[in-house]
Structure 1
């Protein structure tokens, strides 16, 4: 009798599992999504939440598998796979997308915007919509969302920085995109391109003198072990773009396309505000770990210096156009 009861129990459990809409539905569409950040970074949790909601709303037919720490490959290689129509996605930025559509790089230029609310308004700018369409039509990138804001990037070094002159001669790690490189150069340092995962070792070995990153990068990468100062220049508000293949996106049912975009926007804003609220806590942690925060930075001097990057890359007109459009957008 006991054996028969156990069999019935197992059978009932199997029936319940089979009837679950998301547990047993086989995914018809699968997206592998890559990012360079570690598994403890808030973005990773945000991407997982995005994936969960998409799976629920599509009854398991559209599944996103999230890979942290560049497990699928370095960012630039993944972007090329996206262009070729491979069903992969990448957390990237307008600096790298500027390699394809130069104007869009302005969104990662020095002191461009200063709040999440301004980033949300950027979604309504006709010029940015035009750039997104160009990325899709000419280069195969579908921008799902850029409502992902990591926060302000600061110079992190082993010497205190208060004015652009203090950066003279310092080799600062920055991504290999023109707007990042020219911005760091304009602000006084020597830009040095390295992949994100190489920062710790490069600092440890003296290959670079510092990096420009957001606060969460310090704790996620244990960079407090190889850096002494966070110099609060806030020179970039780091706006991230989630991109996938436009060819693959267009192969999805329209309803699934809508869900993919809606939930990416939703998870992005929730994650961005969470990071903003958590920044003070992270700031306290890095100080407890021995880093010194330099807050008396000459921001006006840095803003003035940053203008050279706009001029070098012919982005002043793009910047002024976006500012005009933002001013015309009603709340």
Structure 2
């Protein structure tokens, strides 16, 4: 908790302000890693607008996109310390505090968003994780949204697992992504997101992996001729609120926050679903060849990584993996 105290001095920047004519006005803040042209920002803006409308202006939510308040870990710590009100994170990102949470990021373990929701809400691992986030981190998960599924672009066609061999694949410096590249036979090449376009353009790397929305937003289709629907990691976003914020809100406003977080998550999900429905055709109009390799071998290739996860997390990890993979 000592790291959290470093941000305690920011307390006066956040939280409640003055009194309005019809009751106390709460000026709250939400931090995002994504920029203000992203689907995440659009959903957060929808959340903010609905809160203002449904509370008759008693809750005013100010958005800070583009990592203005720090990276996702920093903002989780700010939420925990009570100096930030709302934020986003992938459920698997909580592995930095609770290692067993990595199960949600293991390639090919989560099949689709419906599976992700069940894995988060209906399992012992999911319930345990939510409780730890609440009790140990002082944060409540309000809702969960779909945030895209990661696919692979390249300068050569990927029709099978064998086509991945030797490919220099840019990945973020995250274990799940590094292991996806390694276990498919590619050469994982971590680098900053801002450097990826030039690296692809100059063939410093052969490919990269990201959700379709990011591939379009970053215009990677301009410098990559092939898109393989590898569906290797499903990204989610959980809507987070500091328990300190909830304590300050009267019951009626707290209920509105909970309800509108669910509404915003549904809107968030639909933004990504709608985009994915049309973006493939867009890529094709840009000259990109889209392939759909058989993913059976891709999934089987991840077994060594699953074994590492279980070894690291013992019986808890073994049960979590079994529980989630058995969901129908």
TM-score scaled by structure 2?
0.80
Report what 1:301 is aligned to.
297
Does the 8 Å CA contact 2:23/2:58 hold for their aligned counterparts? yes
Alpha-carbon distance between aligned partners in 1 of 2:270 and 2:204, rounded to the nearest angstrom: 35
Q: Which moved more, 1:149-158 or 1:257-266?
A: 257-266
Q: Which of residues 128, 131, 135 is equivalent to 1:130?
A: 128
Q: Does residue 35 in structure 1 map to residue 33 in structure 2?
A: yes
Does the 8 Å CA contact 1:152/1:237 hold for their aligned counterparts? yes
Q: Deviations over 1:237-269 (max 9, x none)?
A: 222223343333433334333322322222212
Alpha-carbon distance between aligned partners in 1 of 2:254 and 2:228, rounded to the nearest angstrom: 42
Q: 1:250 to 1:194 in 2, by over 3 A?
A: farther
- Correspondence list, 1:113-262, <5 A: 113-122=110-119, 123-146=121-144, 148-204=145-201, 206-262=203-259
Which one has the largest radius of gyration?
1
Q: Which of residues 263, 269, 274 is equivalent to 1:272?
A: 269
Report what 1:313 is aligned to.
309
Does the 8 Å CA contact 2:110/2:234 hold for their aligned counterparts? yes
TM-score scaled by structure 1?
0.80
Deviation, 1:205, is: 5.2
Deviation, 1:56, is: 1.6
Q: Secondary structure at the match of 1:238?
A: strand
Unpaired runs of 5+ residues, structure 2, are 1-19, 311-316
Alpha-carbon distance between aligned partners in 2 of 1:256 and 1:180, rounded to the nearest angstrom: 40
Computed over aligned residues only, the root mean square deviation of the Cα atoms, in angstroms, reads 2.8
Q: Secondary structure at the match of 2:110?
A: coil
Does the 8 Å CA contact 2:239/2:265 hold for their aligned counterparts? no
Unpaired runs of 5+ residues, structure 1, are 1-21
Alpha-carbon distance between aligned partners in 1 of 2:232 and 2:133, rounded to the nearest angstrom: 26
Deviation, 1:89, is: 3.6
Q: Which moved more, 1:297-306 or 1:61-70?
A: 61-70
Q: Does residue 80 in structure 1 map to residue 56 in structure 2?
A: no
Task: Give aligned pairs, total.
Answer: 302
